[in-house]
Structure formats: C-alpha cells, structure tokens
Structure 1
C-alpha cells in the first residue's frame, strides 16, 4: 500500500471556533495548523506554565526515540492513539525507515487531523499507513473499527498513548480504557505513554490545568504512582518510569541541561509478557 488510507465515511466539521488540544499542541511545536481559538488557549497555557513549550518538544523527542527503539527491536505494527496533527517525522516515517514493511494506524478525534492526514501520511510502498477517526474514550468502538484490519492482532503491536491520558479523567475511566486496549494486544506487544504530572511543579501544573479547563478541555495530571497503574501486569523497559527527557536519551537531546520541571511529564515503555 503506497498511500495512507483514511475513513471515507467521515464528514469533516473542523469546529474552528473552539480550541482543541491537538491544535494547541501543534502551536507549541511551532506548527501552523492552528486557529485563533487555539492560539488564545495556547497563550493562556504559556502564561500559566511557561515551560509548556519546552515540555511539548521534549515529549515529541520521546515519541521519536521510543518508536525508533521498538522498531529496532523488531516491532512492525504501531497503533498511535491521540496522534494529533501530523508533524514530520511521524511515527510511520521513523518505523518504516528501520523496517519498511511496518504498518501504522493513527487515531484522533479531531477532524482537522483527518484533513492533514490525507495530505501528509504517505506510507513506504512496502508498508501501510492509515488514519482512523475515533475517540479513545470509547475503546470498544475503536477496536471494532474496520480500519484496524490493517493490523494483525496475532502479532505484537506497539500501542502509543503519548500526551493523551492527561486529557481523560478518572471519572471518564482512564485506567479502565487503557486496560481494555491492553487486553486486545498479544504477548510481545508494547505500551508507550507520556503523561503530565504534578510531581515536579504542582503549582504551575495546577495553573496549566485551569487554563485548559477554561478553554473547554478538562484534564488530570497524575502522580508517579497513578501513572504506574497504567502499566500493571506489563514489564517496564529500562530505565522504567522517568521524566520524559531521561528515557533513553540520545546524545543530542541535551538531557543533562533539562530539568524535570521543564519536561513536566513522566514517560515509560512496557512489554506484555
């Protein structure tokens, strides 16, 4: 399959008058796929927590590293939930640069991600890339979608939930959602998560949470113990649960010059026994 596939039945409603976390994150990364409501929400977030710009970039580098490490270990299937606006290099570009036959499915609940997926998610001809419009808060519907037929759930799948779960509260069943997704994966699969935490700067994190809530996006930062629950029953990959910049850093990541408060997130990767 030489091109990305997307859900042809989706009606595109961009809802540009309301800030969306994917477009705000795009702004933090220096992208251009954002609109006045998103930029206003981003400005409020920066005022509340100036390190949010650094945190977004640190998280993105973690996504690149973890994808590369898993591809180097032989995983050839990736399910990236809450992918956000496509920002090169994407997960499929990294995975397919190592294993050209890799198959990658992206999901997000923002229609504007679909619009850009149509243009940007170009697969290596030996592999396949698809986009699924779905909401992580309904994992049953997500897992039943025909787009996931692209993946073979009899072989290991790398499930990425990066910078996603802090937008799903305990009241919305965050841990139960992750358990449902984990149960669908076979032995040898991987789980990659990055997540905002109050552990490093609780006051600034509280201000950031309030800024997002005021923009219509409630969330929940979680402690290390709460974060660790997402990996219950799986085996953590070294170095375990650490601030995002300290997870197997590359020499050019300048990890020694980054603080945990700037990272603002925990990150970890685990394998299913």
Structure 2
C-alpha cells in the first residue's frame, strides 16, 4: 500500500496545482473533483485552500491512502491538456517533483506518477528533482537571460533557448545605447575602445591598461558568443544542430556573466 501522506504534502501539491498564475482554474478543479468523485468541502475558498481541503477530505475517507490524490495528479498532468502550452506542463512537472520527492514519487514525461528516490532534506529534494530550470535557478542565471529564453527552456527547446539567450545581449546593447546595429558591428560601436579609447559603454574606469584590456576582453567574448553560438544556431536547420543540456547551461552561464558586467556599465 502507498505510504500515507502528511497534511503538509497535500498542501504543497495543492499549492502547485492551484497556483494563482500557473495553476488549474477554479472550473478545472471543480470538474476534476467531480469526475473523480471527490468531495469539495470548500467550493468558495481560494483555489489552494479548496484543493487542499478536498485532498485531505479524501485522505480521511480513504484512511490515509493517497491513491485518489495520485489519480487527481495524473488527470491534471495528462499531456493532451498541454498540447498548446507544453512549457506549462514542464513548469508544473518540475514544481510537483520538488514536492513529490519527499514521498518517493515523481511525475514522468508521460504525466504518470512513478516511484523514485525519496528525499529527507531540501537539498536532497533539489538534487532528485533537478531540471534545467532548477539548475538555472541554482546557478542564479541573470534575469535578462531568463526573460528571453525561459519559455524555450521549459519547452526543452534547447536549440531555440540558446539562440534567444545570446540574442538578449545584443538587444540589451541596443536598449542601453539607442543604436540599431547587430552582431560584431554593434559590439564595436558600443563596447570597443576604438581610436579614441572611449566606448559608449564602459564596464570599468578604463584608467589602467588592465582595465582597458578587460574592456577589450568583453568585446572579444561577446563577439565569440555571436560567432560560436548565435550565428550557427540561427543559420543551421534545427535538425542539423543539437544543443545538449550541458551546452545550454554553459552558454547561459557565460551570457549571464556578460549581463552582470553590463549591469555596472557606465555611459561615456
């Protein structure tokens, strides 16, 4: 028999499935409860409280057996529901797995609930449930990168996530300077020292040779990202270019570092 769950577990799962922004709607919750013949003790409460109380009521009816709640999760995570928003499936899957790790379960790619390693601590739950999204959060990826590629990451579209991440640098350079260029020309126009030694954006005081070398290093780094990742990804068909999870994480790490240097840049 499946091990009984605590109230905190039910509340945590309900918080994911009934999240204000990314959870099931009140109507969807009502339909699922009715379909699975589950009581709805608090139909007028907030979505989270409503679903948590429905789970706990069923827990009491079934004498601690969580099988009906597992069935609810499976119905809520049925892949066909997400055919138009695959990124929402991945988002809910990730969040559920962080909670289900504490009872030795996880939601797989088919939307089924399967056995997995059991976590006893937050660190263990993080390691067990780690996805690319979780790893980016752990590495504190810059918010500007995530603003451009978070949907592609959730869709597990690594090819396009890599493209959008690198594009974010050039869009930010345009935003910070008002210029309209792109690629290496834009980098030169905004960051390169040039003959005057005064770029539009400086990441330091440029007072010493070391600082000027650092500025030039950033120019070369951004150009390298453009040449190594953005151009090939933009020009090659997706089927001919595979971006692994590790490669995507490495690209986003470097792009995040560039954005952090631009955070402290000053106009000259």
TM over 0.5: no
TM-score normalised per structure 1: 0.23
TM-score normalised per structure 2: 0.23
Structure with the larger RCO, 1 or 2 (CA within 8 Å, 6+ apart): 1
More strand by share: 1
More helix by share: 2
